[in-house]
Amino acid sequence: MSSSALRIVLLGDIVTPNLPRLQRKADFDFDARCIAHSASDTERMQAIDWADAVVTTAFDKPAPRATSLKLVQGQGAGYERILFDCVPAQATICNSFGHVRAAAEYALMTMLMWTHRWKDVETSFRGGSWQYGSMSLPIRNELNSQTVGIVGLGHMGREIAQRVHAMGVRVLGCARTQPEDCAAIERFWPLQHLDAFLAECDFVILSIALTPQTQHLIDQVRLGHMRRNAVLINLARGPVVHEQALYDALTRGTIAGAVLDVWWQYPDAANPNRRGSTLPFHELPNVLMTPHSSQWTEQMMDRRWDMIVANLERLKRGEPLRDIVRPPRQI
């Protein structure tokens, strides 16, 4: 590599397998190092001290000697594991998207599965029963004509709105600010009117960022404002919903069900099979659950790395970066 090559560190086991994508997509001169999760603190810090840019999902240890570091590029939209105080002041922190199409398809798929009772029907017939046959009861519903409410109208929320609108549903939106570019939303509520919004919806889809203000946004009181036939779909972050309150609402019939792809706890090296909750959501028949995989598609990762590589190229050329979540701080 020439002396002008951009020095890039791919940090973490989720990021390092994407070196071939970087090599295939980048048409600028770079030198890359892959640092696995199992690397020692010394190896990790030496790489960060060397780097111009780090692509990662987590940056949680101070790097006071990383004076060349100009960019910490998140491989995802969420950046709660990138601790701003640990990132050198001169470095910009950016995130990346590309996941919204997969999330929208997941939301649509799970609503169709719920209304058509796909899991029950398929399991029953696989077991030899004609209980759900065309001449039998109960008759199932259609998604068409139902009301879908989306909480959070960023990239993901707007994409979901466009996809589900095509199914003939009534789409409502609730967020801090009203988007200007989403004709699919029939009516908008500001976030301070969330209680009234919830009462209108057959499905409530959460796509709002987790912040101190949105932690436990959906609590016992707000679950009580939802319709008894309503289904909560959480594609945001687990703690946006109060864990115990949701479990109680599901067991007591306060709401009809939930689709959960994000959780309150995750596996780690000490407990690789840890469940997503301390509560037995997995025992509830009115829950569809997946392991934070709604957006994990080949096409999503490819789109995401298009964005990452474009930002790395901007860095090398000295051009303004995009999707900034924290600009450089004054030193």
What pLDDT was estimated at residue 273? 93
Q: Torsion over CA of 155, 157, 163 and 165, rounded to 10 degrees?
A: -130
* Average pLDDT of the residues in 114-143: 90
- pLDDT-derived band at 135, boundaries 50, 70, 90: confident
248 class by beta-carbon count within 10 Å (0-12 exposed, 13-18 middle, 19+ buried): middle
Percent of the chain with pLDDT over 90: 86
Q: Tokens for 254, please give them.
A: 């306060």
Structure confidence by residue, pLDDT tens digits, 37-79? 889 999 999 999 999 999 999 999 999 999 999 999 999 888 8
Pair 170, 186: CB distance under 8 Å: yes
Q: Band of the pLDDT at 180, cuts 50, 70, 90?
A: confident
The residue type at 171 = V
Q: Where are the alpha helices (DSSP H) in the chain?
A: 19-25, 41-50, 100-115, 118-126, 155-165, 194-198, 220-225, 243-252, 298-317
More confident residue, 3 or 190: 190
The 10s digit of each residue's pLDDT in 68-107 is: 999 999 998 888 899 999 999 999 999 998 888 999 999 9
The mean of the pLDDT values for the chain is 94
Q: In the structure, what pLDDT confidence band is assigned to residue 134 with cuts at 50, 70 and 90?
A: confident
pLDDT for position 2: 45
Q: What is the mean pLDDT of residues 22-42?
A: 95
pLDDT at 3: 55
pLDDT at 330 over 70: no
296 vs 170: CA distance, rounded Å: 28
Instruction: Tell me the average pLDDT across 105-126.
Output: 95
Three-state DSSP state, 287: strand
Q: How far is CA 7 from the centre of its chain?
A: 29
Contact 94, 322 (CB under 8 A): yes
How does 6-27 read in b/e, with b if 16+ C-beta sit within 10 Å? Answer: bbbbbbbeebbebeebbeebbe
Q: Alpha helix (H) ranges present in 226-319? A: 243-252, 298-317
Task: Show Cβ contacts of residue 212 under 8 Å, excluding neighbours closer than 6 positions.
Answer: none
Give residue-wise pLDDT tens across range 282-302.
999 999 999 999 988 999 999
Q: Percent helix, strand, coil in the chain (nearest 5)? A: 35, 20, 50
What is the separation of C-alpha 21 from the centre of its chain, rounded to a whole number of angstroms?
A: 22
The stretches of 116-148 forming alpha helices (DSSP H) are: 118-126
CB atoms within 10 A of CB 222: 21
pTM: 0.86
Selected residue with higher pLDDT from 134 and 273: 273
Q: Does position 257 have pLDDT exceeding 80, yes or no?
A: yes
- Choose among 313, 319, 331, 312: nearest CA to 72: 312
- The per-residue pLDDT for 287 is 97
CB 73 within 8 A of CB 53: yes
